[in-house]
Amino acid sequence: DITKLKKGEELLGSDLKNKMSEKHNYLRETARTELHELSTNADKSADESSSDISTIDEKLANVADTLKIVKNIQNELNRMKNGSIALVGQITTISKIRIYEPKTNKDALSKIKLSNDSLTLIDNEIKKLFIY
């Protein structure tokens, strides 16, 4: 209920969830395409040298990593509710050691960026709170 928002809170809508969902769908399709290509090329590579087999192993490892990321994002999406609220009043400095996620490119929130509209909402709320 947006009427119950307090000073220093800004409703971002489903922007974050939508961005994560887009990333999830993209990575899932990428993994599916790579697996399809590997399966169609497996018969051709079966009679070739061991260097081709190591290339296939590398590609399979990449697909496995992608699928782990997809699973992490799916778990995160399942926990999310519709509508995000930025708690601008709680902005403070923190140590990098206290950041748990994202630390690597394989984390669910890595490379997720809010839209300019959401960032503008946050910026305006910061101005209201901290500029006299």
| 132 residues of the chain, pLDDT tens digit each | 677 888 888 888 888 899 999 999 999 999 999 988 888 876 665 555 555 677 888 888 889 999 999 999 999 899 888 888 889 988 888 888 888 888 888 888 888 888 999 999 999 999 988 886
CA distance 17 to 77: 7
**pTM for the complete prediction?**
0.73
CA distance 39 to 37: 5
Nearest Cα neighbor of 126 from 111, 81, 118 is 118
The amino acid that residue 58 corresponds to is E
Q: Which pLDDT score, from 0 to 100, does residue 106 have? A: 83
- Give phi and psi for 86, each to the nearest 5: -85, 125
Q: Which pLDDT score, from 0 to 100, does residue 43 have? A: 63
Structure token pair of residue 11: 């409703």
- 87's enclosing H/E stretch is strand 84-87
